[in-house]
Amino acid sequence: MAGPSPSPHKPRRKPKRTGNGTSSNLPSAPTREPHARTPAFPLEAILWPARGSVSQWEMLPLILMVAGLFRWAAGLWGYSGFEKPPLFGDYEAQRHWMEVTTQLPISQWYFHDLQWWGLDYPPLTAYHSWLCGKIGSIINPSWFALYSSRGSSDPILKIFMRGTVVVSEYLIYIPAVVIFVRRFSRLSGVPTWTASVALVAILMQPATILIDHVHFQYNTVMLGLVLASISSMLAGRYLWSSVFFVGALGFKQMALYYAISVFFYLLGKCLFPRTNITRLFGVAAVTAASFAILLLPLAIGTLYDVSRGIEARPGLKGARVPLALFPELANYLDTDAFYYPVVEQVVQMVHRVFPFARGLFEDKVANFWCALNVVFKLKKYPSELLQQGALLATLAATVPPNLILFFRPRKHLLPLAFAATAWGFFLFSYQVHEKSVLLPLMPMTLLLSGNKGLSKNTRAWVGFANMLGCWTMYPLLQRVDLRMPYAVLTLLWAYLLGLPPTSLSAYFQSGSSLWARWGTVFIHGCFYLAMGLWHVLENSLKPPLDKPDLWVVINVGVGAAGFSLCYLWCLGRLAVESEILPKSWIGKGSKAKTQ
C-alpha cells in the first residue's frame, strides 16, 4: 500500500538571526507603536483603534474616502467671483481657459482677448484646460461657448468644475502624497501607524482645501508633480525626478520656488561623494528633452495653423508685430521664415507667464516688500531697481539652505531645504500672490511624516505656519464671502492636531531646553493672540476713512513677521539636521538616516 502523499503545505522558514538577536529579513523601520503611550492629540485618538494594523494599505482606502468627503463638502460653498461682475474671479478664469483652448486654434491661445482672463500659465495648464473643456463640452457645449458663456453660474457647471479639481487631485496629488509619506517615513524609521496619522494630517491641510476646493484653482496638480519629483529623489530615480519637476514648471510657473533646491540637490548627487558624469549628462539631457516635449504640441499646432492661413493675431491680417519681451529680436530673425511663428508663440507665452510689467506686487500680500511698503512707498522707485532688489534679496535668502543641500545632499534634508527655499521666495521674490503661501507650506507640512514629525515641537511649528498661512489668506477669502469654510476648516485642523486656539497640547514638550520651550510658547502665543484680536477688531470696527486698508495692512505686517520666523526655523533646523550646527542649538533634533 502506497504511503500518504506529501502535504502541499510548506512550513514557514524561521528567519535568520543576526548577531544582535534581530531577524535579518525584518524591515529596518519599526512597525509597531509602544503600547504604554496614550494619544497625544485628537487625530491620534481618532485613529488609535487602528494602531495594531500591520500595513498602511489597510487604512488607506478609509483615509482617501474621508479626505475626498471633506473636499467635496468644502466645494458646496461658493467660489471666487460667484455672481460678482465684471470679471467673476478665478473660477471664471479657469472656465474661460477651457473655453479658449477648446474653441480657438492653438496659435491664438496666448493672444486671445488678454483683458478677459488671458491665459497666463505655462502650456501644461493649457493642455489640462483643453482636456477638461473637451469632456465638459460633451456634457453641455454651452458651458464653453465662445463669448456667450462668460460669467456663467450654472449650478451643474459648478458641479463639473468642482469634479475636475477633485479628479485631478486624486490622479496626481493624492498618489504623490501617499508615495512620499511611505518612502519618507521608512527612511526616517517611522512606524506604519504613525505614518498614517501624518498622512491624514497632510491631506487635511486647510490652506490647500480652501484655495483649490473652495476658492477654486488647480494648485494641487503642480504640487503633486513637485512631490513626485521629491519622491523620485528619495528613491534615487533622478531622471524621473527631472521629468516630474519639468511637468510642475510646465503647469504653473510658481514651481520655480523649488527650482534652486532641485538643481542643487541633483547637482550634489552628481558630484558627491564622487563625480558621476553619466548621471550629470543624463539629468541635463532628460530635462532638456522634457521641456522640448512640453512645448512640442504648441509648436506643431502653430505651424499647422500657419499652413491653414490662421494668424495668431487675427485682427492684424498678417502684419508683423514686435515681440513682446524682446522687440529688437525681430531685427536678427527672418520674420518670413517658417520657424518665426513658433518663436513668436514661445516669446508671447513667456511674456504672459512672467508679468514683469505688473510691478513688484499687485495686491497686499504678507511678504517683506508689502510690509516694507507700509513705511517706504516702493512704487515710486524705478521698476528695474525693484526687480534687481527683489532678485538680490531672494538669492540672499535661498542660497544658504541650498548650499547646505549641495554639500550635504541627504534625502532626509529635502523637506526642510524645499521649505526654507520656498519661504525665501515667498518673502522676497517678485509678483507674489496670497495663494503662493501654499508652496512653502507644502514641504513644511511634509515634516509631519518624518522622524519626530508628530512630536510637540515639530507639530507646534508646522501647525503655526499653516494657521498663520490661512489667516493671511482671510482677506482674499472674505472678499468672496468664504468666511464660513475658512473658520470650519482651520479650526477643525487645529483641533485634530491639538493646536491653538482649540488646545495647547502641542506645547510644553518634555526633553527640550527651558528657553526653547518657553520661547516657542511666548512667540507663538503672541501671534495667536494677535490673530484672534485682529479677527475681533476687523469684524466689529470699521477702519478710519483715511486708512481704509488698515486691517489688511496689519494682517500683512503680522503675517510677514511670522513667516520670517518660519523661514528661520526651517533654516536653523536644516543646519542642525545636516550636522553643520550642533543639535543643542535648537533642542533635540531628529536621528534620521543620512542617506
Question: Which contacts (CB < 8 Å, 24+ apart) does range 410-413 have?
Answer: 410/578, 410/594, 410/595, 411/187, 411/233, 411/234, 411/593, 411/595, 412/184, 412/187, 412/188, 412/450, 412/451, 412/577, 412/590, 412/592, 412/593, 412/594, 412/595, 413/574, 413/577, 413/578
CA distance linking residue 41 with residue 592, whole number of Å: 23
- How high is the pLDDT of residue 515? 72
CA gap 542, 550 in Å, rounded:
9
For the chain, the first-to-last Cα distance in angstroms comes to 63
CB within 8 A of 593, min separation 6: which ones? 187, 188, 189, 411, 412
Return the pLDDT at 268.
Answer: 96
- Locate all alpha helices (DSSP H) within 308-367, ordered by sequence: 340-353
Give the global pTM. Answer: 0.90
Directed axis angle between helix 219-234 and helix 438-445, to 10°? 40
Rounded distance, CA 259 to CA 414, Å? 13
Tell me the three cell numbers of residue 365: 500680500
Over the stretch 438-456, which tens digit does the pLDDT of each residue have?
Answer: 999 999 999 999 999 999 9
Report residue 581's pLDDT band, with 50, 70 and 90 as the boundaries: confident
Average pLDDT, integer, range 357-364: 73
Question: Residue 545: how many CB atoms within 10 A of its CB?
Answer: 6
The answer, yes or no, to whether residue 8 has pLDDT greater than 70, is no
Give pLDDT, residue 580. 85
Whole-angstrom distance, CA of residue 573 vs CA of residue 415: 11
What is the rounded distance in angstroms from the CA atom of residue 507 to the CA atom of residue 521?
7
Overall average pLDDT of the 233-248 stretch: 98
pLDDT at 34: 45
Residue 593 in grid coordinates: 538616516
Q: What is the largest CA-CA distance in the chain?
A: 108
pLDDT at 14 over 70: no
More confident residue, 29 or 460: 460
Across the range 158-175, mean pLDDT stands at 98
Give me the chain's average pLDDT, please: 88
Q: How many CB atoms lie within 10 A of CB 334?
A: 9
Res 513: pLDDT: 67
Confidence of residue 327 (pLDDT cuts 50, 70, 90): confident
Q: What's the pLDDT tens digit per position in 553-571?
A: 999 999 999 999 999 999 9
- Mean pLDDT check: name the lowest of 126-140, 174-188, 481-495, 538-552: 538-552
Omega of the bond leading into 501 within 30 degrees of 0 (cis): yes
Cβ partners under 8 Å of residue 439, min gap 6: 223, 254, 255, 257, 258, 422, 425, 426
pLDDT in tens, 130-150: 999 999 999 999 999 999 999
pLDDT at residue 53, as a whole number: 64
pLDDT of residue 374: 87
Q: What is the pLDDT of residue 317?
A: 58
Share of the chain above pLDDT 70, in %: 87
* CA–CA dist 530, 543 (Å, integer): 17
Least confident of 6-20, 176-190, 322-336: 6-20
- Using a pLDDT cut of 90, give the percent of the chain over it: 71
User: What is the model's pLDDT at position 272?
Assistant: 92
Which residue shows C-alpha cell 502541499? 8
Beta bridge partners of 17: 23
